[in-house]
Amino acid sequence: MLQASILLLIVSIWFPGATRIAGTDGSISFLLALFCGLVSLVPYAEATKRLHRTDTALAAAVLTTSALIMVLSLLSALHADNPVRTMRAVFAQVFGFATIPTIALIAARPRSFEAIDRIGMTMAIMVAVTSCLVVIGLGDARFADRAEGYFKHANQLGIALSAGLPLVAAKLVASRRHRILLSVCLLAGLLGLVKSGSKTNFVLGVVGLGTFYGLYCIYLVIRKQRPVTVIAATVTAPILFQASFMMLQFLNPRAYRLLSLQLSGGEAHSIVSRQRLWSISIDLGLSTNV
């Protein structure tokens, strides 16, 4: 039941607009996360008693850090003009905190590799499914200038896809099966990222993939494995990098124009406004601490 719940949770994450309660996006996903956390809490506590001391300390450190972040977020409400809005960040943090015992418990069970592999594969498939829905414009995933998919904003779609692409790449490298399917998922994820129009996440996604495969090639060189793969990757990497920007230019000219303007030393309005906002936030944080 726990594994089925976490798989259902993963699917629901990609459709926050369709999982709302009382007008709040992602409400069903939030309840599913709490359910997974509550169901796994007691078995997780029992499982930690059988773990090595180092593993137990690491798990405790992760949970303690997550709890501290939530407490600090709640304290920030004391200085907010609208304290209720701070709960939006806290809800997301509670969501992550609740899933930590669930994943740890599943990983500690017998045949855990198959369960974790199934979870990772589900995430990879959802990257492709969401991207395909965006590309064909089905339902709320219509694309005009920027696509938000089933999220509230286009940047949220970009964040989800740029975060999911490294996982798909890792699955593609590690898996001995379904490589064609995973390759399609990776290509679909890149295409969906282009359609989202999120320039920052596009750069993060492309650079992240390049860094991942670069480190993987270094690993193969050190281990003296798959020399043909390393040579092929070295030759094709610049071509694929250029192809990704050509795809952005063809499918989303506005995002390509703004990104080119910023990279050439110009000032794109959206990026400049964001930099000013970050600067003001950092200054306020430093002045408060002092």
Segment 137-162, tens digit of pLDDT: 765 555 556 777 778 788 888 888 88
- Helix, strand, or coil (residue 24): strand
- Helix, strand, or coil (residue 198): coil
Strands (E), the chain: none
User: What's residue 24's pLDDT?
Assistant: 64
Burial bucket for residue 36 (CB in 10 Å: 0-12, 13-18, 19+): buried
Contacts of 146 (CB under 8 A, 6+ apart): 154, 196, 197, 198, 255
- Asked if 95 contacts 24 with a C-beta cutoff of 8 angstroms, the reply is no
Segment 46-63, tens digit of pLDDT: 777 766 677 677 777 877
pTM of the model: 0.74
Residue 285, CA distances (Å) to 40, 191, 221 in order: 37, 37, 45
**Dist. CA 199–CA 158, nearest whole Å:** 8
